[in-house]
Structure 1
């Protein structure tokens, strides 16, 4: 059985990616930050369908915890799947916050950096010895880092996501001798708990965003989760170093 590590899978895109991978017969090690109950919901959803999942805590903004996390992954692989490697990594965990350029503090900028760019960089480095040859990685970026998704208030967030897109291409280049593929997806506005549950708190933004989207609605987590699962699967075997916008034609 193939096994995936999916970060930030207690809700939203990460939760969807974990469930979609499990539906395709992949075991899942999923991580959570503050939302343990959401992570346990994800595990329960996977187990209800006959899949296998383990939830582990991880703060992607604290790289000093990554070696201990790797030991937890090693233990989960051994105990649950009798393996010493895994096949897929989804770097999804993150946070979003709108802040106009002139209002962005160094503290917020540094937090964006630690969670959205430094975290995926060094987490991947830490887990790379456990990633099987012929495996695959998907980094979850954002269309805020692309011309199509350029909106005021996301300079700090989008700068890190743009860095993640560049990092994706370098990972693809450097990991290719081992047959490991690396791609990124760039979601547009998606109904998740990101940005402190903004969609629930400000439902009036939904029709505005839908009107800017060619396909006429905001994204749902499964719109992105299914693409992630497809890129990791056999259908994606000849795709690497790509960034795929998954935004329903935002600003098209």
Structure 2
């Protein structure tokens, strides 16, 4: 059985990705940071379908905790799957933040940097000794880093996600001798809990976003989760160094 690590899998895209990967027969180590109940829900859903999952706490914004997290991963691999490596890493954990460029503070910028770029960079580095040859990494980027998704107020957020896309290409280059594929996915507007449940608090924005989407609706977490599962699995075996927009044709 292959094993995947999915960060930030207590809700939204991460939760959906963990469930979809498990449906395809992989074990899952999923992480959470404040929403332990959501992580338990993810584990329960996977187990109901006959899968195996373990939830571990992780603060992606505190790189000093990564060695201890790696030890926890090694213990889970040994105790649950009787192996010392895992096969797939999905760097999904993060948060949304909107502020116009002129109002963006250094604290906002630094927090986005720690969580959205520095975190995935050094977490992947920390976990690399446990990642099996022939494995796969998927980084969850954002349409906010592409021309089609440019929206005022996301200069800092989009900058970090753009950096993650560039990191993806470098990792694909450097890890290719080990047969490890690395891709990123850039979701469009997706119904998640991002930015403190913005879509629940401001449902009036949904029709406008749907109207700007070629396929005529807001994205759902499952739309992105299925794409992640395909990329880490055998269906994506000949795809690497790509950023794949999963947006239903936003601004098409």
TM-score bracket relative to the smaller structure: over 0.9
SS at match of 1:196: helix
* Equivalent-residue separation in structure 1 for 2:45 and 2:235 (angstroms): 25
Specify the SS of the correspondent of 1:174: helix
Q: What is the aligned partner in structure 2 of residue 251 from structure 1?
A: 251
Query: What are the within-5 Å matches in structure 2 for residues 1-252 of structure 1?
Result: 1-252=1-252
- Offset at residue 226 of structure 1 (A): 0.2
Specify the SS of the correspondent of 2:93: coil
Aligned-pair distance for 1:127?
0.1
1:77 positional shift: 0.2
Equivalenced residue count is 252
Q: Which runs of 5+ in 2 are unaligned?
A: none
Please state how far the C-alpha of 1:135 moved relative to its aligned partner.
Answer: 0.1
Q: Using the TM superposition, give the Cα deviation of residue 129 of structure 1 relative to its aligned residue in structure 2, in angstroms.
A: 0.4
1:144-191 alpha-carbon deviations (Å, 9 max, x no partner): 000000000000000000000000000000000000000000000000
- Please state whether the residue corresponding to 2:137 is helix, strand or coil: strand
Paired with 1:65 and 1:218, the residues of 2 have a C-alpha distance of 36
Using structure 1 for the length normalisation, give the TM-score: 1.00
TM superposition score normalised by structure 2: 1.00
Consecutive aligned runs of 4 or more in structure 1 exceeding 4 Å deviation: none
RMSD between aligned residues = 0.3
